[in-house]
Amino acid sequence: MKIRILVVLLVISAGAALAGPMSVQVRNCRVRATPSQLGSTVAMVDYGAVVQAGTPQKGWYPVTTADGKTGWVHESALSRKPIAMRAGTSDAATGVSSDEVSLAGKGFNEQVEKKLRSEGKLDYTWVDRMATFNAGADQIMKFRMQGRLPGGGQ
């Protein structure tokens, strides 16, 4: 009995050690109802927002958003390093060191792209158009079902 309690306590403490705040490092982050890219969307979280993450399972973190919604986010969308928004934005951080945080919009950024566009060095017309080519989860599910593709790892 004592051993069982000890094991349970160890599992809980290991989970607690892995859990913690993580930052969204992609532009449009969907919190999903199940640990799958085809899971229904519970909430959308902005770039740089902080979520409370639990112990990951096969690349998926169980998360709780700032407004209390719970779901799953893939590890590739999250960063342990806090992301501070630039000055002038609502979440702008002050007095932060760039070694402790990633500063959103820093470095190779929109400002650099604007400069290249204004100098007429690169034409982004098709790049912008390409970014609108989006298949939704419903379309992908239908495509896979009609093509008789098994669920695989999802």
Binding site for other proteins (CB under 8 A): 25-29, 37-38, 47, 59, 74, 76-77, 84, 86-88, 92-94, 96, 98-99, 102-113, 115-116, 121-124, 126-127, 130-131, 133-135, 139-140, 143-144, 146-154
The position carrying tokens 């909430």 is 43
Measured distance CA(114)–CA(10) in Å, rounded: 53
- Least CB distance to other proteins at residue 33 (A): 15
3-state secondary structure 50-71: EEEECCCECCEEEEECCCCCEE
Measured distance CA(70)–CA(19) in Å, rounded: 14
- Least CB distance to other proteins at residue 35 (A): 11
Rank residues 69 and 144 by Cβ distance to other proteins and give the closer one.
144
- Least CB distance to other proteins at residue 6 (A): 35
Measured distance CA(153)–CA(131) in Å, rounded: 27
Rank residues 5 and 100 by Cβ distance to other proteins and give the closer one.
100
